[in-house]
Structure 1
Amino acid sequence: MNYLENIYGINYDEFLNLVDNFYEAVWIYDNNYTIIYTNSATERNFGKLAKSYIGKNDLEEFYEKDWDPRLLPLVYKNKSTYISRQNTPTNSTIQIATPIFDIYNNIKYVILNVRHLLDNSDFHIPSSNAIELNDVDTNVSDSIFFNSTSMSNMMKLVQKICRIDATVLITGESGTGKTMLAKYIHNISERKSENFVSINCASLPENLIESQLFGYTKGAFTGAVATGKTGLFKQAHKGTIFLDEISELSYGSQAKLLHVLQSKEFTPIGASSPEKVDVRIITATNIDLKKMVEIGRFREDLYYRLNVFEVSIPPLRERGNDIEALIYHFLHE
């Protein structure tokens, strides 16, 4: 708080007001299930005044019929962060429970974030399935080699997000291995038995990108293949589509991609009706998309849809410890 107050002039009351206006509902518990704080978003999700929960015991306030599985018992028992999707008759939520420790590594508080999903599309986690985010398998595939701490931390993040069926934005300089990492995320995800389809957005002119992504019907335009063409999104149905150099996508094509993300459907050129598609989208860029948003070259709404999770690959010059591992691999390949 001292930093916020000294640098930004934000005092304690103003800070609480900021948290109170989060879109996500925030619950803070002591070390034994007692609710000590909730923000105003809890009123939207649960229909009761936030202050009415203060001092209540979570085990008494909510029952198995309300939240299943219960994350708090798992957090208190295993001292780990858990995430779960909860479906109720009125809405669907993503819940993340995070323990906060004292200097003796005992749980002092637990923070529970509850996000109401407007269209059930932000995250895809099986209902009634709690995923532990701290205890992950850090073994890597035969295609990724490293010794550095920075790459180890990055791979731990990748191991976590592979279990959550959301969009991933991979950033990094040219040659850092963004395509390889995208394939790796697919290969350890629940979609690994389905197709991995890749396209470089900079390799196709604007007048071809839509037909490549969405396909076209027989006779859709002059010069079209007589039998029509299956687009990459349809080829990737149930699997993963990787859009490399996403920054090169034109503004018009960005709007069409945003529509797919929002509606889970696309319309082939020449078709009269849309087709549903179930696909995970991974994108990559070596350009700062935030700056492109600021100058109006990239849609802000699309940026946030693509950037649910961001994985940044450090360049080799910043991880010298990996050079030996790479040399050993190539010498014995």
Structure 2
Amino acid sequence: MVDYEALLGSLFDIVHVTDAEGRTLHGSGRYEEFFGIDPREMVGKPIEEFYHLGYFAPTITMRVIRDKKKVHTIQTTRKNQKLFVEGTPIWDQDGNFSGVVHTFIDITSQEQLQQELNEVKYVGTVMQSEMTKENNRQKGETSLIYRSQSMEQVAMLAKKLSQVESSMILLGESGVGKGVLAKYIHECSPRVDKPFVHINCGAIPETLLESELFGYEKGAFTGAFKDGKAGLIEKANGGTLFLDEIGEMSLSLQVKLLNVLQEKTITPVGSSVSRKVDVKLITATNKNLRQMVKEGRFREDLYYRIHVVPLEIPPLRERQEEIPVLVHYFLNVFSQKYCLERQLADTCYRILSEYDWPGNVRELENVVERLVVTSHDVLITPAQIPRYIHNQEYREHKGIKVDHVMAMQEAMDEVERQLVQRAYEQHKTTTKVAEALGISQPSASRKLRKWLCTS
């Protein structure tokens, strides 16, 4: 006869089993060592009861019961042990759901974490991201935190492009992390030991942007430094120049930037002498530059110069599996920054994962910081999450949010494109798309051909 308890005990530090309602059926012998409670006291009682008593956080049992699929997380116990826990649904011979088996691995120390990474391949993604984040933070390097396939492709392409000198443009909505990706590209490149200069073209007044970018000679204008000043492009010489919000640059400055790319020279304000510069150029925008070219608001020759390699970062709502990882990352960052011990209740992760995040990663970062600094207790509960996030009715009926001013027709076209794309992703047929959008089937077909190139 196989001793299944002994077998499981040799593979995992702790095994815990509940029935289909979340009541404890069994806890292995080492449970008290890690959680501070005899598992025999838990038998027949709901596991959530012990979560609310503070023996561990977060809890995943009810998520497994609700979703009928595996769930894993990193759990902290009352004895301050860090455990990787995975909850797996179990089924009887008739295929009926009958309970949850939880397996726990102690990852309290960095050495144990590395050992478990080598032994348990299927938990690698979560743990490795945490280790990479910590190692990069110690080195002062930028780390990319992701789990989605789409962001993995972005990261792989970014690393590949970091080895070439071609200009590249980062595309995506405001707040998706274009600045972080640009810094990552620089740190993966052969220019890593040289300067990385980040310039937000939309944050500097147009009257000052030229002198900030190109520098100026002494006496160039009233109020200038008496000895002149080197421009930011010159300061990036040998390294990487990141021009964020490139669509905000005036046409006159676009001409001068084009000269930098073509001739590899700059001319400071008030000077007639050019200076050689060598920079790898990365630009970024959330605007439709192609449309701006058609409208005469962006130079076509510059567009093709900076648009050599486009790299688009998907919005956070399209990579929801990344939200818990990012929440966990920012929770650690701000807990350490403010010297506070903070944990999120398991329900908080679910609420945050279901929100659309129109402000993308930047909004998520701000919300987590707010939760950390405003919470009076170690455990952050759903009641502390801003109402607009966990109010489902508000999310379902909210209006369109306008982040910046654009041409009216451009805005209407973009709204139509997104509506058609969302409707097609959900319904797949022109008849159902037409019904969802309240238009005729022929109109739906035309719009699908226009925006999605469907046959």
Using structure 1 for the length normalisation, give the TM-score: 0.57
The match for 1:151 is 151
How do 1:232-311 residues align onto structure 2 when only pairs under 5 Å count? 232-311=232-311
Q: Does 1:216 align with 2:216?
A: yes
Identical aligned pairs, as a percentage?
A: 52
Deviation track 1:23-44 (CA, whole Å, cap 9, x = no partner) reads xxxxxxxxxxxxxxxxxxxxxx
What's the counterpart of residue 166 of structure 2?
A: 166
Deviation at 1:277, TM superposition (A): 0.2
User: Aligned with 1:321: secondary structure?
Assistant: helix
- The structural deviation recorded for 1:295 is 1.1
Matched residue, 2:202: 202
Corresponding letter in the other structure for 2:250: S
Letter in 2 for 1:219: G
C-alpha deviations, 1:210-269, integer Å up to 9, x for none? 100010011112221111111001100000111110000001110110011000001111
CA displacement at 1:272 relative to structure 2? 2.4
Structure 2 unmatched ranges of 5 or more: 1-128, 137-142, 334-455
Query: Helix, strand or coil: the match of 1:332?
Result: helix
Matches of 1:246 and 1:155, distance apart in 2: 22
Instruction: For 1:176, give the aligned amino acid.
Output: V
Question: Corresponding residue for 1:11?
Answer: none
Distance 2:180 2:217 in 1: 33
- Deviation at residue 274 of structure 1 after TM alignment: 0.2
The one-character-per-residue Cα deviations of 1:25-65 (angstroms, maximum 9, x if unpaired) are xxxxxxxxxxxxxxxxxxxxxxxxxxxxxxxxxxxxxxxxx
Deviation at 1:291, TM superposition (A): 0.9
**Are 1:229 and 2:237 matched, yes or no?**
no
Q: Structure 1 counterpart of 2:178, which letter? A: K
Alignment root-mean-square deviation, CA: 1.6
Equivalent position amino acid for 2:197 in 1: V
What secondary structure, in the 3-state scheme, does the structure 1 residue paired with 2:226 have? coil
SS in 1 for 2:262: helix
* Structure 1 segments of 4+ aligned residues over 6 angstroms from their partners: none
Q: Could you tell me how far apart the structure 1 residues matched to 2:204 and 2:327 are?
A: 34
Deviation at 1:329, TM superposition (A): 1.2
Deviations along 1:180-208, one digit per CA (max 9) or x if unpaired, are 11111001101000000111101122221
Q: Which has the higher helix share?
A: 2
Which residue number corresponds to residue 326 of structure 1? 326
Instruction: State the 1:312 CA deviation.
Output: 0.5
Q: How does 1:1-333 map to 2 (within 5 A)?
A: 142=136, 143-333=143-333
For residues 262 and 209 of structure 2, the distance between their equivalents in structure 1, rounded to whole angstroms, comes to 19
Q: Alpha-carbon deviation of 1:330?
A: 2.0
Bigger radius of gyration among the two: 2
Amino acid at match of 1:251: L
Give the distance between the partners of 2:331 and 2:219, measured in 1 at CA.
52
Shift of 1:328: 2.0
CA deviation after TM superposition for structure 1 residue 307, in Å: 1.1
The TM-score with structure 2 as length reference comes to 0.42
Q: Structure 1, unaligned stretches of length 5 or more?
A: 1-138
2:291 partner amino acid: K
Tell me which residue corresponds to 2:118.
Answer: none
Could you tell me which amino acid in structure 2 is paired with residue 316 of structure 1?
L
Deviation of 1:324 (Å) = 1.7
* DSSP-derived class of the 1:254 partner: helix
CA distance in 1, matches of 2:184, 2:242: 12
> For residues 235 and 170 of structure 1, what CA distance do their matches in structure 2 show?
22
